[in-house]
Amino acid sequence: MTNWNPDLYLTFGGERTRAAADLLARVPVAAPARVIDLGCGPGNSTALLRARWPGADLTGLDNDPAMLTAARASDPGVRWVEDSATWWTASAPYDVVFSNAALQWLPDHAGVLDRWFAAVAPGGALAVQLPVVHPRSPLHRLVWDVAEAFGVADSGTVCHASEFYYDVLAPHATTIDLWETEYAHVLDGPDAMLTWLRGTRLRPLLSALPDDEARGRFEVAVRDRLAAAYPSRADGRVLFPFPRLFFVATRR
């Protein structure tokens, strides 16, 4: 798989960090001593945690070296850890376990969330956001179609229904707050949509193609389908609908 590219990812840093801010706003923990950001990426979500809880002992964890290099440069005061969030367990409990836009890349959400919630101290919170693979969104369908046409296996990203996450967390939760938001991001046309996807969803597909020529053709095919599925407004911009699922559970 191609490594993550922090600069490309942060091309849309405002839009991507908006979901982290909306998630954080619902975390009902006033003054946590220990906080961790799982799948912290270049540190954009971790910066929000630092701003809300300046006195907290803060850790950012990610398994991508390039993302962590960018994160380290963003705030030397955070403990940055290179590790997999999939198998992560805590040696001491955390008051807040936070993860924005990372869980969708991990397998076995029930097992992962069992481990993440077990790391939360009584009265603390687990807060997670992930993109929804929505049946009414043409985005995922068109990426699947192009992947199939190019003979590339598309394992896609994973998001279950909210009931799934409720059932996993409820046995150990005092409260569970779940909601879905569909952002309508205003982007500068289909090329901008392609750039957005190149930084995330298309990474594993592009890396599975044999060479740059095939990657170029693949991107043109995706771009053309995006242009057809999301027509430009009168000013040339497009509305890029992006549904996301959020949940915040407090630990019993």
Ligand X SMILES: C[S@@+](CC[C@H](N)C(=O)[O-])C[C@H]1O[C@@H](n2cnc3c(N)ncnc32)[C@H](O)[C@@H]1O
Interacting residues with ligand X (CB under 6 A): 4, 16-17, 20, 39-41, 44-45, 62-64, 67, 84-86, 100-102, 105-106, 200
> Greatest CA span in the chain, whole angstroms?
55
C-alpha–C-alpha distance, residues 223 and 192, integer Å? 9
Question: Tokens 């929000």 sit at which residue?
Answer: 48
Comparing CB distances to ligand X, the nearer of 68 and 147 is 68
Comparing CB distances to ligand X, the nearer of 43 and 150 is 43
Q: Structure tokens of 142?
A: 């068109």
Q: Give me the residues paired with residue 238 across strands.
A: 187
- Total Cβ atoms within 10 A of residue 136: 8
The length of the chain is 252
Comparing CB distances to ligand X, the nearer of 131 and 190 is 131
Question: In the complex, what is the shortest distance from the CB of residue 5 to ligand X, in angstroms, rounded to a whole number?
Answer: 10
- Total Cβ atoms within 10 A of residue 150: 18
Contact 84, 105 (CB under 8 A): no
Question: In the complex, what is the shortest distance from the CB of residue 197 to ligand X, in angstroms, rounded to a whole number?
Answer: 12
Question: In the complex, what is the shortest distance from the CB of residue 91 to ligand X, in angstroms, rounded to a whole number?
Answer: 17
Comparing CB distances to ligand X, the nearer of 139 and 150 is 139
Residue nearest to ligand X (CB): 41
Question: In the complex, what is the shortest distance from the CB of residue 69 to ligand X, in angstroms, rounded to a whole number?
Answer: 11
Distances (CA, A) of 173 to 1, 123, 190, 202: 36, 9, 42, 35
Contact 102, 71 (CB under 8 A): no
Comparing CB distances to ligand X, the nearer of 102 and 194 is 102
Question: In the complex, what is the shortest distance from the CB of residue 217 to ligand X, in angstroms, rounded to a whole number?
Answer: 26
Question: In the complex, what is the shortest distance from the CB of residue 128 to ligand X, in angstroms, rounded to a whole number?
Answer: 11
Comparing CB distances to ligand X, the nearer of 67 and 249 is 67
